[in-house]
Amino acid sequence: MDRPYIICHMVTSLDGKVTGDFLGRDAHSGLIKDYYRIHREYGADGFICGRVTMEGSFPQPPVLPIVYDCPSIERVDHIAERSSFYAVAIDPKGKLWWGSRAISDPDDGYDGAHIIEVLTQNVSDTFLAHLRGKGISCLFGGKTELDLTLVAQKLKRLFGIETLLLEGGGIVNGSFLQEGLIDEISLVVVPEAECSEKAISLFQTGKYHADNTMTASFRLKEAKILDDDGGLWLTYQNSYEGVMNMYNFIFQNTTKIYFGENQLGHLGEELKQYGTRVLMTYGGGSIKRIGLYEKIIEVLKKAGLTVLELSGIEPNPRHTTVNKGADICKKEKIDVLLAVGGGSTIDCTKAIAAAAFYEGDSWDLVTQKAPVIKALPVFTVLTLAATGSEMDSGSVISNIDTNEKYGLIHPFLQPKVSFLDPANTYSVSAFQTACGSADILSHIFDVFYFTASEKMDMVDRIMEEVIKTVVKHAPIAVKEPENYKARANLMWAASWALNGFLQTGGFQAASCHAMEHELSAFYDITHGLGLAILTPRWMEYILDESIAPQFKKFGVNVFGVDSSLSDMEGAKRAITCLNDFLFKTLDLKSTLTEIGIDDTNFKIMAKKACQGDVLQGFKPLTPEDVENIFRMCL
């Protein structure tokens, strides 16, 4: 496991409350002692609590507002000390002004635990300076909200925590539960019902996933009567017995697809189910050149819909364009959005759909400063096979003022209906066809084909078939742009590479995508080209004995590499085949130098890709690793 084994250890009332008067009654003091005894007996490497629980359990002397005359402090993880026992505080905004570097408590099970503050980047410099001054460690778990999976991974990787006791409160417990991070539950049950509505339950809905209710099943491991005190000690094991998320998934893709020629006749009837005022969005004019614009306008008029337009959506769409679209939606009381174009138009339109319900700058939604609370329905007519945006809930938006490009992902952004007519991609240039194909391949490689996790055979084999489909049909589409069969195969492959199906059973962060988004954020290059240049270099860089078998298998099954070669030779051969495919067969440029990029910004780009620390993925990469990979691409 790449994170600690997590045991949620709590005292509860009969009605599952973890706060209330029952905790303070003399009659139950023996059980509270049992709770502390069990805590000690677990011999864990640390315990983790939310801010409120920490404040309640370990009150600190009041802190006068401290003003440090300090320069801005970098938001990087800080290991102040190595310890055999840690007190980990979930304190996203930095409110726990600890008086010292370790817990001071009469109980041996807590006393002396070195403090690790878990923060978002949204903390003040003054607070960080205070932590440094006191010798307290800290780690960052997100920009404005915490990604608890990442936090758990960092606790293991940076501090070596193998076993962690999760000790409340209810919202923190609930958030861990919702992220599938609880392996075991240990409950000391007090024989009293708390009943108070104000009392908090063992698992409250995690605030980070308030709209995402889920059930989690555990099986009873042991039930022990705690002598004389009338209490019970119940332990439960996660049904998946510590194998994190293996074959444990929810799959729902709600986009209705009309595939093939002459399907646009259905557009009017589908749109009318969501309203009558349509904002049609498109890019720089390709849809007019191919006659698609007129066709769609005719269908919409025929259906009696009122149509407004937003044109000029840029490749690598800008947040300023999203703002423009959101203004139109608000002013014109738009009911439904219709994106006609490639991934950029669709992504921009999805972001508009969410921004239509937000009063501020849409960049706040992209950077998660503000949550997506609602979104207008989105329809798409796809004209370029690449991103899968027509059938997923993601959008990627750029801010050219800050050289940033981030994903905005939310279930509300999933298109309601998408029209996929391969003939609409006949006019896509050889270059964009090649880039789109590289993007499709990368979605499979990056997200779950090359992975350290276990995956289902069925999914693995389908991935290889989709990869082979692209390898077969992309060169045909490049040479014969009006080959319907090739265009159809590429189009459907693109949608399925990233519609969630191939990610069933596991998930991993997409490291090549994170590196590419830095390239396109700084240099506005075509996404698929950046991926094509990066991917073989990344493979070369991470290749070692443990990775070689996967790369070799890819070479054997996709490119027919000789299976009798050693793992390492087979892996190297596979990388050569991928190079030849991308740069000879598809004729893409193979270096950053050829597209005018030098090393000026590599350091900062590498740091941003890693969010200051480590870029997760098949193989975790440090900023230095990422910089090395960028250099290999020169």
Q: How far is the CB of 222 from Zn ion (least distance, A)?
A: 48
By a kind-dependent CB cut-off of 5 to 8 A, residue 168 interacts, out of ligand NZQ, Zn ion, none, with none
Selected range binding Zn ion among 129-137, 344-352, 438-446, 452-460, rule: CB under 5 A: 438-446
Indicate which single residue of 285, 360, 411, 549 sits in contact with ligand NZQ (rule: CB under 6 A). Answer: 285
Q: How far is the CB of 582 from ligand NZQ (least distance, A)?
A: 15
Residue nearest to Zn ion (CB): 439
Residue nearest to ligand NZQ (CB): 283
CA-based max dimension of the chain:
84
Indicate which single residue of 394, 422, 475, 505 sits in contact with ligand NZQ (rule: CB under 6 A). Answer: 394
Tell me if 386 contacts ligand NZQ by CB under 6 A: yes
Please state, as a whole number, how many other Cβ atoms lie within 10 Å of the Cβ of residue 215: 5
Q: How far is the CB of 435 from ligand NZQ (least distance, A)?
A: 6
**Sequence-distant contacts of 56-65: CB under 8 A, at least 24 apart:** 57/105, 57/110, 58/87, 58/103, 58/104, 58/105, 58/110, 60/96, 60/97, 60/98, 60/99, 61/99, 63/97, 63/99
Q: How far is the CB of 462 from ligand NZQ (least distance, A)?
A: 19
Q: Which residues contact 67 (CB under 8 A, 6 or more apart)?
A: 126
Indicate which single residue of 137, 425, 433, 495 sits in contact with ligand NZQ (rule: CB under 6 A). Answer: 425
Instruction: Look up residue 608 and give its two tokens.
Output: 């941003």
Amino acid at 409: I
Q: Which DSSP letter does residue 426 get?
A: T
Indicate which single residue of 142, 283, 377, 506 sits in contact with ligand NZQ (rule: CB under 6 A). Answer: 283
Contact 508, 447 (CB under 8 A): yes
By a kind-dependent CB cut-off of 5 to 8 A, residue 428 interacts, out of Zn ion, ligand NZQ, none, with ligand NZQ
Helix axis angle, 623-632 to 602-609, nearest 10°: 130
Instruction: Look up residue 528 and give its two tokens.
Output: 């698929």
By a kind-dependent CB cut-off of 5 to 8 A, residue 216 interacts, out of ligand NZQ, Zn ion, none, with none
Q: Which is nearer to Zn ion, 439 or 613 (CB)?
A: 439
Q: Which is nearer to ligand NZQ, 395 or 611 (CB)?
A: 395
CA separation for the pair 56, 35 (Å, rounded): 17
Instruction: Look up residue 591 and give its two tokens.
Output: 């270096």
Q: Which residues contact 348 (CB under 8 A, 6 or more apart)?
A: 281, 313, 317, 318, 321, 322, 325, 339, 395, 397
CA separation for the pair 14, 487 (Å, rounded): 62
Among candidate residues 336, 342, 349, the one with its CA nearest the CA of residue 388:
342
Q: How far is the CB of 342 from Zn ion (least distance, A)?
A: 12
Amino acid at 1: M
Indicate which single residue of 439, 518, 613, 627 sits in contact with Zn ion (rule: CB under 5 A). Answer: 439
Indicate which single residue of 136, 428, 486, 586 sits in contact with ligand NZQ (rule: CB under 6 A). Answer: 428
CA separation for the pair 595, 219 (Å, rounded): 57
CA separation for the pair 536, 613 (Å, rounded): 23
Contacts (CB under 6 A) with ligand NZQ, residues 296-335: 315-316
Peptide bond into 169 cis (omega under 30): yes
By a kind-dependent CB cut-off of 5 to 8 A, residue 286 interacts, out of Zn ion, ligand NZQ, none, with ligand NZQ
Contacts (CB under 6 A) with ligand NZQ, residues 159-198: none
Instruction: Look up residue 15 and give its two tokens.
Output: 């009605």
Q: Which is nearer to ligand NZQ, 398 or 469 (CB)?
A: 398
Contacts (CB under 6 A) with ligand NZQ, residues 324-383: 341-345, 347, 383
Q: Which is nearer to ligand NZQ, 13 or 393 (CB)?
A: 393
CA separation for the pair 455, 502 (Å, rounded): 10
Placement of tokens 């005894």 in the chain: 37
Q: Which is nearer to ligand NZQ, 246 or 430 (CB)?
A: 430
Tell me if 389 contacts ligand NZQ by CB under 6 A: yes
Q: Which is nearer to ligand NZQ, 388 or 623 (CB)?
A: 388
Here's the x/- map for Zn ion, 6-25, by CB under 5 A: it reads as --------------------
Q: Which is nearer to Zn ion, 361 or 439 (CB)?
A: 439
Tell me if 286 contacts ligand NZQ by CB under 6 A: yes
Selected range binding ligand NZQ among 55-63, 76-84, 389-397, 545-553, rule: CB under 6 A: 389-397
Q: Which residues contact 101 (CB under 8 A, 6 or more apart)?
A: 80, 81, 114, 115, 134, 135, 136
Q: Which is nearer to Zn ion, 342 or 377 (CB)?
A: 342
Bridge partners, residue 231, by sequence: 226
By a kind-dependent CB cut-off of 5 to 8 A, residue 432 interacts, out of ligand NZQ, Zn ion, none, with ligand NZQ
Amino acid at 461: R
Q: How far is the CB of 386 from Zn ion (least distance, A)?
A: 7
Tell me if 495 contacts ligand NZQ by CB under 6 A: no
Residue by residue, DSSP assigns 496-560 as HHSSSGGGTT-----HHHHHHHHHHHHH---HHHHHHHHHHHHHHHH--TTTHHHHHHHHHHHH-
Q: Which is nearer to ligand NZQ, 272 or 324 (CB)?
A: 324
Cα torsion 347, 353, 356, 359 to 10°: value is: -60
Q: How far is the CB of 209 from ligand NZQ (least distance, A)?
A: 21
Q: Which is nearer to ligand NZQ, 288 or 333 (CB)?
A: 288
By a kind-dependent CB cut-off of 5 to 8 A, residue 418 interacts, out of Zn ion, ligand NZQ, none, with none
Among candidate residues 325, 280, 273, the one with its CA nearest the CA of residue 298:
280
How distant is the alpha carbon of residue 135 from its chain centre?
32
Q: Which residues contact 123 (CB under 8 A, 6 or more apart)?
A: 75, 92, 93, 94
Tell me if 487 contacts ligand NZQ by CB under 6 A: no
Q: Given the rule CB under 6 A, which residues bind ligand NZQ?
A: 283-286, 290, 315-316, 341-345, 347, 383-384, 386-389, 392, 394-396, 424-425, 427-428, 432, 436, 439, 498, 513, 527-528
Q: Given the rule CB under 5 A, which residues bind Zn ion?
A: 439
